[in-house]
Amino acid sequence: MPLIHLIYRKSNTAFHSIENVFNTLIPYLKVKKVELPYTSAGFLKRYRNIAFVKKLNSNLIHITGHDHYLVLGLPRKKTILTIHDIEVLKRNTGLKRYLLKKLWFDWPINRAAYVSTISSFSKNELLKLNNYKTPIQVIHNPITLPITYTPKAFNEDCPTILHIGTKPNKNLNRLLIALKDVKCKLIIIGKLDNNNIKLLEENSINYSSKINISNEEMIQAYINCDMLCFVSTYEGFGLPIIEAQACGRVVITSNNASMPEIANNGALLVNPLDVNDIKNGINLLINNSKLREELISKGIENVKRFQPEIIANQYQQLYDSILVKTF
């Protein structure tokens, strides 16, 4: 039987989203998981990671994300590279951005046998970078938490709104301004900075925040909330959308990037750069029970696309299509 290795970055408690995705898929795939021995920092550690992967006796190597540079030391015909987004390029400018583009995107993509990416939006972002000849296939992320539909009566008087993430692209500050005079309880998953806290106080928002929570606590946060507000300015996928849909919660999200593709008519879309549009959308969902029920119903149906068995089968078909050419 052909030996397929899934390459994971060196484990880090601060980063685990890629690992969650592929750990969910492994039970349905004919693969072997391998973790890199070194973190991706500095030339020497990256060189050693390349040398480590080169020694694997693989028929096919799938780099699951983050360490794109590994492709540069591997045979062209037996490497798949998953690219989740190009957010790192959006955070950098000048020479650093140029080098990142070459080392993390242009050269690895051109050397890979195949690239997979997690949304049509991310695929289009890649193609805007360069006219790559390497085939790029969209394979969505699976839902990674064991969430089941848990109905809950919506609290119209004071709904609990869940917000996940505090990095700049998560757009928390605009949400905090939008929630001024909206009677609600806001649950924030992520570490708050001084500016976040200042806006929470200025806008008299009833809130609580949590960090480093377990999967069980995350599931409970979905169950306890009335609404997920996920109005990011940029997402390569947007996993909280389908997690909230699976739980049976109404979702408000952004009308840009990957979010309309992932929500698939199962969420209310707003302009994440327009505070008034965010506020109006939240108020609409609070006051319109018929719209909430319609979006929840469509969300439950949408989640079926992201079941791990379905996503794993798409990867397995990709593996098989490449292996048949090399044997």
| pLDDT tens per residue across span 238-263 | 999 999 999 999 999 999 999 999 99
Q: How big is the CA angle at 20 (ends 39 and 46), to the nearest 5 degrees?
A: 15
pLDDT category, 14, cuts 50, 70, 90?
low
Distance in Å from the first CA to the final CA of the chain: 11
Distance CA 244, CA 148 (A): 10
Query: What tokens appear for 250 in the block?
Result: 């109404």
Chain centroid, CA 79 distance in Å = 23
Q: Comparing 4-142+307-326 with 160-305, is the CATH topology the same?
A: yes
Cβ-count burial of 45 within 10 angstroms (0-12 exposed, 13-18 middle, 19+ buried)? middle
pLDDT given at position 15: 64
Backbone dihedral region for residue 82 (phi beyond 0: left; psi -120 to 50: alpha; all else: beta): beta
Whether the pLDDT of residue 13 is over 80: the answer is: no
For residue 288, give the 3-state DSSP assignment: coil
pTM score, two decimals? 0.91
Mean pLDDT computed over every residue of the chain:
94
For residue 41, give the 3-state DSSP assignment: coil
Domain boundaries, the chain: 4-142+307-326, 160-305
Distance CA 165, CA 154 (A): 23
Cβ proximity of 115 and 137 under 8 Å:
yes
Distance CA 61, CA 77 (A): 10
Alpha helices in 32-76 (DSSP H): 42-54
Chain centroid, CA 189 distance in Å = 15
pLDDT given at position 318: 94
Q: Classify domain 4-142+307-326 by CATH architecture.
A: 3-Layer(aba) Sandwich (3.40)
Q: Classify domain 160-305 by CATH architecture.
A: 3-Layer(aba) Sandwich (3.40)
The residue type found at 138 is V
Nearest to 236 by CA among 82, 103, 132: 82
| pLDDT tens per residue across span 169-188 | 999 999 999 999 999 999 99
